[in-house]
Amino acid sequence: MRGMRWLLLVAIAAILGGVGYQYRAQKRLLAGNAPATPAPLSTDLRASAEHWHYRDKDLKTGRVKSDIDAESFQQVKDDSRVDLKNVTLKIYSKDGKTYDLVKSAAASFNTAEKSLYSQGDVEITLDLPTEGPPARQPTVIKTSGLTCDSSTGRVDTDQPSSFIFEKGDGKATGATYDPASHELLMKSDVEVHWNPPGKNAKPMKIEAATLAYHETTSEIWLKPWGRMTRAGMEVEGNEVVVRLQDKAIRKITAIRAHGSDDLPNRKLRYAADELAMDFDDDGLAQKINGSKNASLISTTEASETTVTADRVDLNFQPDGRESVLTQVAATGNGVVTSKPLAVAGRPLSETHALRSETLEMKMRPGGREMESVVTKAPGTLEFLPNLPAQHHRLLEGKDFVIAYGPQNRVDSFRAANVKTRTDPNAEDRRRNRQVSTTTSRDLEARFDPKTSRLTSMQQSGDFAYEEGDRKARAAKATMDAEQNVILLDTGARIWDAAGSTAADHIRLDQRTGDFLAEGNVTSSRLPDRDQKKNSEMLSGEDPLQATARKMDSRNRNRQIHYEGAVQMWQGANRIRADVVDVDRSLDPQKRSLVADGHVVTNLWEAPKDDKKKTAAPALTEVHAGHMVYTEAGRLTHYTGGVQLNRPGLQVKGQELRAFLGESGGDSRLEKAFADGAVEILSTGKDRTRSGTGDHAEYYTADQKVILRGVWVRIVEKIVTDSQPRTSEGTEAVYFANDDRLVVTGELDKPGNSRFNRKKGK
């Protein structure tokens, strides 16, 4: 076992066993070659000799097998013990080129028990050349209190032992070697300093409670615990097995083990119930495999990354005199958690935790920082807030790919078949924000390289969003995390319990619920449930619907701005304009509807007398440049050139005020006031009246028309009259459904009426 004599007292059995053998041979020789009568022995001795020497040769070949020298030789008279002093024993190899040298100050051989014992120091030097000095450091073993069974060759000591060998040195307290099983046991306090054979190797220190070397399998067992230390690397565990090959440690296994590897700017900590490590010639780790409750913690100045799984595999590559971590694989309940550490001048980002059955982590050159993490199975990515303003987010999906920037900061990630969940932070909860969720076929997110904060997230393929009763759909969505805004593109739609909006593009502010829709906008809103009937201009139980090129909704749809070819309707009632603004404030005094540019309103009212089933509904149509409706007074103010059309009535003017009926009815026109270059045209069954003035009033209940001005002129055409009637004055009052007409003038200028009637009338 010359390959591992550096660790063990392997040769002791053969060497000291040889002492007993040589003693017995010498005894026989002395008996057959008795010299002349010697000086009398001491009464307590059976035999003695001074400067005793014996050479053992092979009887067939004449090869010298061993040389034994002792300063003295004594056998106790009444005992089976032989005492030797200053023993030197050389045991030669078969080729005679090398020998093992044993030195002991004193040794005792028990002929009855066939055992040899040396209480004092024993020094054994292995593989010395018979000629010239040794080419390399020979193995030297030192111990004491050594017992050898000459029948079995078993060697045992309970005393401290030390050894020096070509690749290091070591020590232990107590040792046993059994040549029959080729096993050596170092009983306690084991410490071995081992220099691997590689040219770039660093020393390794092995410590254990006990060390057992099994020569036949080239294994070293460290029990019940063992520890290996190399520069910044340390591994400790129970039931450690070290496997050797070509004088090098190739593999270490242990149970309930943990280890560390510290380099500048990076620390590794790993543990597992079952740990296996592979080494190269330089003693550098090539692989570390942990099974059952396996974990890895990598710490840099900016972050701490933890990997846990049923099994964790670490791959290393040599880089000079260091092992550089290149790849980490986690299998079975794998979790990679990246936690930022406090760095002066940088706010903490969220902690990221990726979970999957299989995870692969690739390291950047140098092994100190992560380059990417990939999942091979469905998984989850969780964002854990470290600051009050941050959100707790959870992403579920498959095929995650996370790319990292400097200092283990997340740069981007992508995933497929994704579902996300975002919890409101403290500020959101104060604003009654709820949990929001999204789904999509694909997701890609990007992060701020300086802070690792999520900056944007794009989801495509059947995107869906939900927060409380608010929902959204689109072909693609992009979230701006800094502004907390979602951009919906292509086939975008957003809705809640009160209505919905569809458009080419929708921009949703998640903090406020406000949204901006653009391109082919279509919206539909249900009437407020707690609002009195007929409280809006377009009133009724039907949904309020609109189309436009652009829609801006604020304050949870209470302030809405429509722009571009706007059409708004509820049932049959309709408004058209370039721009429409709706204020549905909770305060009735502030509720309003404002339309601007090419305004057209169509308001239908049912017949006042419900008994007339055949009566047609009445339409009031108004054209204007601008319109303002205020709910408080049920007043609609038209400006910018106005024209009102009703059955049998047309009113033109610069502005017009239309008063709707009180709440509880439909959008019924109660009265209308027109001002500025007013023109009125009334059409009845048998007559038409046209008038001009500065101001006009129309009351729908009794079809009353009042026309006022500096000078009012009424022209009446009666079907039965060939000539029109003209009336002039400062005021004209008539009723559209009969022939009553009253024209009055100023006090000093009485009114002037002319009636042209046919003869006989």
Domain boundaries, the chain: 1-146, 548-754
pLDDT number for residue 695: 96
pLDDT number for residue 746: 59
* For residue 753, pLDDT beyond 80: no
* For residue 697, pLDDT beyond 90: yes
pLDDT in tens, 614-669: 667 888 999 999 999 988 888 899 999 999 998 888 999 999 999 987 655 456 78
pLDDT number for residue 666: 57
pLDDT number for residue 90: 83
pLDDT number for residue 516: 94
**Report for 6-20, 595-609, 735-749: range of highest mean pLDDT:** 595-609
Of the listed ranges 13-22, 141-150, 580-589, 735-744, the least confidently predicted one is: 13-22
The total of other beta-carbon atoms located within 10 Å of residue 52's CB is 20
- DSSP 8-state symbol, 712: E
pLDDT number for residue 755: 44
pLDDT number for residue 657: 95
pLDDT number for residue 529: 59
pLDDT number for residue 721: 80
* For residue 1, pLDDT beyond 70: no
Query: In terms of C-beta distances under 8 Å and separation of at least 24 residues, what long-range contacts does 111-114 make, across chains too?
Result: 111/24, 111/80, 111/81, 111/82, 112/80, 113/80, 113/149, 114/20, 114/149, 114/150, 114/151
Beta strands in 377-481 (DSSP E): 379-384, 393-404, 410-422, 436-447, 454-467, 470-480
Token pair 């003035």 in the structure block, residue: 693
Phi, psi (degrees; rounded to nearest 5) at 390: -80, 160
pLDDT in tens, 65-114: 878 788 887 776 656 777 888 888 787 888 888 888 888 888 877 767 76
Token pair 């608010």 in the structure block, residue: 470
List the structure tokens of 592. 């309003």
pLDDT (mean) for 171-200: 83
- DSSP 8-state symbol, 615: P
* For residue 164, pLDDT beyond 50: yes
Does residue 425 or residue 23 have the better pLDDT? 425
Of 477, 512, 474, residue with least CA distance to 493 = 474
The alpha carbon of residue 207 and the mean position of all alpha carbons in its chain are separated, in whole angstroms, by 40
Of the listed ranges 9-18, 330-339, 520-529, 701-710, the least confidently predicted one is: 9-18
pLDDT number for residue 261: 82
Longest dimension (CA), the chain: 197
List the structure tokens of 601. 């309103």
pLDDT number for residue 611: 54
Q: Report the half-sphere exposure of 430 (CA within 13 A, side-chain side).
A: 5
Of 329, 235, 226, 237, residue with least CA distance to 283 = 235
pLDDT in tens, 346-405: 777 788 899 999 999 898 887 777 889 999 899 999 989 988 888 898 999 999 998 888
Distance CA 98, CA 528 (A): 107
**Domain 548-754 carries which CATH code?**
2.60.450.10
Which DSSP helix (H) or strand (E) runs through 457?
strand 454-467
* For residue 612, pLDDT beyond 50: yes
pLDDT number for residue 16: 43
Phi, psi (degrees; rounded to nearest 5) at 25: -65, -40
The alpha carbon of residue 256 and the mean position of all alpha carbons in its chain are separated, in whole angstroms, by 29
CATH 3.40.50 at 1-146, yes or no: no
Distance CA 120, CA 104 (A): 7
pLDDT (mean) for 286-308: 88
pLDDT number for residue 124: 82
pLDDT number for residue 491: 92
Q: What pTM was computed for the model?
A: 0.71
Burial environment of residue 169 by CB neighbours within 10 A (0 to 12, 13 to 18, 19 or more): middle
pLDDT number for residue 444: 93
548-754 shares the fold of 1-146: yes
Burial environment of residue 654 by CB neighbours within 10 A (0 to 12, 13 to 18, 19 or more): middle
